[in-house]
Amino acid sequence: MVLIVAGILGFSENDVGWWLSWLAFLSWLVCAAVTAAKGKWGLLAFDVFVWLFSYVGAFRLAKPHSLWARTRYDESTMHRARLRYGE
């Protein structure tokens, strides 16, 4: 996918594959950013090699000390996160 996004493998701009590759890249980038905000650095490291890990990290519960949990979780969700991660 990196070769397609970088323009090394050819898709013309009118080709649907070109747009789909950009859409896949942008969705991966957003999910990777959410994974980082949730404090899941191990998943983010694997995400470089297997893109599905970014989606797993984006949809699972965040660590309680992460930026995501501190800004987005209410008390009940924070309690679940503390139970899950043992903090």
| pLDDT confidence of residue 20 | 79
pLDDT digits (tens, 9 = 90+) for 18-61: 777 788 889 999 999 999 999 999 989 988 888 888 889 899 99
In the prediction, which pLDDT does 13 show? 60
pLDDT at 39: 93
Enter the tokens of residue 43: 């998943």
pTM: 0.75
pLDDT (0 to 100) of residue 34 = 94
Report DSSP letters for 8-69, one per residue: SS---TTSHHHHHHHHHHHHHHHHHHHHHHTT-HHHHHHHTT-THHHHHHHHSPPPTTSHHH
Residue 75's pLDDT is 95
